[in-house]
Amino acid sequence: MATSYNDIYTLNRVIKNDPRLANIDGYELNCLQFKYLQFSISYFLYDCLKDLTDRTDPQTSLYTFIGNGSDDEFLLDPVPEEDSIFVVYVIDNGEQTLITNNTFDSLTNIITLSIIPVLNSSIKVYSYTYGEFNEDLDDREKNILSEGMNVPYKEESAADQNAMKYIVTGKSLRFFSQANHIQTMVDNVNNQMYNTLNSLISEYTYKSSTDKYSGLAGRGSGV
């Protein structure tokens, strides 16, 4: 049984509840989450009992059209991946509008928009899949991967939030001190995230080793 990457993303409350991400669309969020998951996979790869290299990463495509003022149906060629999710934007006079409630017919590969784009408007259709592990990951493995996503995410967040608080004053010594302060805060965040992640992996490997021998211990106690 495969494990969808979205199962991992759903467990991550830190990223999911960040208000700064509330207004980005599903395609952008999926790309962002996958970037963080890649780090987590590489970090957990050699400790995980499952083969994390046996997977299908997200597939994405972009289709572009020009509105003629009368059509709301558009043929997607090449054919989108199975179970694709779609995000549609219409750009008119430089204003980009997210179009929701569209329908896709997998038999005809036609997407029908909920509006009729105006003449000469630009239409962008993004398709994406979540990706999946071909292994059936258990709850511990999912949780470790989810927690691992927080390391690069928190690092970026700490740098972005704190860098804006410090402006170059023209005094090199002052700026050097501020830059060091920012780096120290980032390092502290990293240490905390790594400590949490390493603790989860240590617990996982310990319990996995215990599980391997639990059957032998049980059998021996019955003799």
Strands (E), 93-142: 95-99, 103-105, 110-112, 122-128, 132-133
The residues, ordered by sequence, that sit 6+ positions from 44 with a Cβ below 8 Å of its Cβ are 52, 141, 144, 145, 148, 201
Quick one: pLDDT at residue 186?
Answer: 54
Residue spans per domain, the chain: 1-58+136-212, 60-129
Q: How far apart are CA 108 and CA 65, in angstroms?
A: 17
End-to-end CA distance of the chain: 37
pLDDT of 89-141, one tens digit each?
Answer: 999 999 999 999 999 999 999 999 999 999 999 999 999 999 999 999 999 99
Is residue 19 over pLDDT 50? yes
Number of other CB atoms surrounding residue 8 within 10 Å: 29
Instruction: Output the average pLDDT for the chain.
Output: 85
pLDDT of 54-82, one tens digit each?
Answer: 999 999 999 999 999 999 999 999 999 99
pLDDT of 153-184, one tens digit each?
Answer: 988 877 665 544 444 444 444 444 555 554 55
Fold category of 60-129 in CATH: Immunoglobulin-like (2.60.40)
The residues, ordered by sequence, that sit 6+ positions from 199 with a Cβ below 8 Å of its Cβ are none
